[in-house]
C-alpha cells in the first residue's frame, strides 16, 4: 500500500476531514445565526412602545377627522351607497351596512385604539383596531390616499405582532418602561424590522414610478404640484411656485433624497442624518400640500429606526409621563440607627 493510501486511512486524517467539514459549515451557521439575531433578538421595548403609541394616536386622530363626514362617506345614503367588494377587499361593512353598524364599528375602533395607546389588552384590541380601520378604508376607496393605505399596513403588521407575541411583551405601557424595581422590559424586534423594510421599499418604488413621468425628468414636477391652489395647504411665495430654476432644484432634490435615504438609514453613522432629511422632506411636503395622513404614517415607520435610548428620550418628554413617574418613585428607606 502506498504512503498516500496509508495517510488517508490514518485516524489523524479523520480529524482533518471533520475540521474541513466544520469549516465548510461555519459560514452557513454564522449566516443563520445572524439572520435569527436580525429578526428575533429581544431588545429594550422603548422603540416598540413609541411606535405603538404613534400608531394608536394616529388612528384616533384619523377617526376623529372622519367623524364629520362619517355618513356621507360610508352610509347607504352617502357617496358610495353600494360599494362593490373585490376578492381582495374585506370588511365588516360588507355584511353590516346599516348606519347603526357604522357607529358601532367607529366606537369599537376608537376604544381599541385607546386601549392600544395605553397598553391594555393589546392582544385583543390590536386586531380589532386593524379590523375597524380595514372596514372603513376598504368600504370607500375614493376618499383614500397613500397615507391612509400605509396606516392600514401598519395596523395589519401590529395586529399580527399582537397575536403571536406574548401579552407581557406586546402590552408594555410607557409607565412599565420606567417603573422602579421592575426588570427591563424587552420585546421581539421583528415588528420593527418589518417597518424598516417597508420604509426602505417605499422610496425606490416611488422613484421608479416618478421616472416614468416626463415632468420628473424635465424638472417641472414640483412646480405643477405647488401651483394647484385647491391642493395647497399653507402659503407658498409665488417667487417659488413660478420659478423654473427653483422647481428643478426641488424636483431633482426630491429624487436624490428618495434614492439616498433608504441606503443611509441602514448605515449607523448616517442613520440620524437620514431620519432628519427624510422627515424634513415629508414635513415640507405636508406644509405646502394637503397630503392627509401621509406624513403621520411615514413618521410611524421612521420610529422603527430609532434606538431604544433615543425612544426613551422622546417618551420621557411626553407631558403626561413625567408627573406619573414622579408619583411612582419608591419612598426613600430610612437609614438604620447606629448602635
Q: What tens digit of pLDDT does each residue of 44-66 get?
A: 889 999 999 999 999 999 999 99
Q: pLDDT confidence of 221, banded at 50, 70, 90?
A: confident
Q: What tens digit of pLDDT does each residue of 248-273 get?
A: 999 999 999 999 999 999 999 999 99
- Cell readout for 31 is 449566516
Q: C-alpha angle 174/179/181, rounded to 5°?
A: 150
pLDDT for the residue numbered 328: 46
Phi, psi angle pair for 289, to nearest 5°: -130, 150
Query: Which range (23-37, 61-75, 90-104, 203-217) has the least confidence?
Result: 23-37
Distance CA 109, CA 63 (A): 8
Q: What tens digit of pLDDT does each residue of 71-128 get?
A: 888 887 777 666 666 666 778 877 877 888 899 999 999 999 999 998 888 999 999 9
> What is the number of other CB atoms lying within 10 angstroms of the CB of residue 153?
17
Q: What is the mean pLDDT of the chain?
A: 82
pLDDT for the residue numbered 84: 64
- pLDDT higher than 60, residue 323: no
The answer to whether residues 296 and 151 touch, using CB atoms and an 8 Å cutoff, is yes
- pLDDT higher than 60, residue 324: no
Question: What one-character DSSP code corresponds to residue 139?
Answer: H
Q: pLDDT confidence of 26, banded at 50, 70, 90?
A: low
Nearest CA among 136, 216, 178, 219 for reference residue 327: 178
pTM, whole model, 2 decimals?
0.83
Amino acid at each position: 500500500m502506498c504512503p498516500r493510501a496509508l495517510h488517508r486511512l490514518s485516524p489523524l486524517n479523520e480529524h482533518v476531514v471533520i475540521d474541513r467539514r466544520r469549516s465548510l459549515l461555519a459560514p452557513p451557521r454564522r449566516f443563520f445565526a445572524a439572520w435569527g439575531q436580525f429578526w428575533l433578538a429581544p431588545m429594550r421595548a422603548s422603540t416598540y412602545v413609541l411606535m405603538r403609541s404613534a400608531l394608536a394616536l394616529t388612528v384616533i386622530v384619523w377617526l376623529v377627522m372622519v367623524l364629520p363626514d362619517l355618513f356621507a362617506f360610508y352610509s347607504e345614503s352617502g357617496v358610495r351607497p353600494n360599494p362593490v367588494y373585490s376578492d381582495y377587499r374585506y370588511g365588516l361593512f360588507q355584511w353590516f351596512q346599516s348606519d347603526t353598524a357604522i357607529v358601532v364599528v367607529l366606537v369599537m375602533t376608537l376604544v381599541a385604539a385607546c386601549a392600544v395607546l395605553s397598553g391594555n389588552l393589546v392582544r385583543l384590541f390590536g386586531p380589532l383596531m386593524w379590523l375597524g380601520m380595514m372596514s372603513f378604508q376598504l368600504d370607500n376607496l375614493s376618499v383614500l390616499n397613500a397615507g391612509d393605505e400605509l396606516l392600514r399596513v401598519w395596523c395589519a403588521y401590529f395586529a399580527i405582532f399582537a397575536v403571536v407575541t406574548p401579552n407581557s411583551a406586546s402590552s408594555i405601557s410607557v409607565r412599565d418602561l420606567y417603573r422602579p424595581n421592575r426588570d427591563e422590559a424587552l420585546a421581539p424586534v421583528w415588528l420593527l424590522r418589518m417597518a424598516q423594510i417597508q420604509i426602505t421599499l417605499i422610496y425606490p418604488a416611488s422613484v421608479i414610478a416618478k421616472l416614468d413621468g416626463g415632468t420628473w425628468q424635465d424638472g417641472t414636477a414640483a412646480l405643477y404640484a405647488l401651483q394647484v391652489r385647491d391642493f395647497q395647504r399653507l402659503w407658498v411665495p409665488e417667487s417659488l411656485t413660478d420659478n423654473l430654476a427653483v422647481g428643478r432644484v426641488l424636483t431633482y432634490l426630491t429624487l436624490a433624497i428618495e434614492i439616498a435615504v433608504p441606503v443611509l438609514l441602514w448605515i449607523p453613522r448616517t442613520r440620524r442624518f437620514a431620519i432628519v432629511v427624510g422627515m424634513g422632506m415629508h414635513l415640507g411636503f405636508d406644509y405646502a400640500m394637503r397630503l392627509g395622513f401621509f406624513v403621520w404614517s411615514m413618521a410611524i415607520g421612521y420610529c422603527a429606526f430609532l434606538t431604544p435610548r433615543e425612544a426613551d428620550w422622546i417618551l420621557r418628554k411626553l407631558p403626561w409621563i413625567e408627573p406619573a413617574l414622579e408619583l411612582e418613585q419608591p419612598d426613600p428607606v430610612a437609614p438604620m440607627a447606629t448602635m
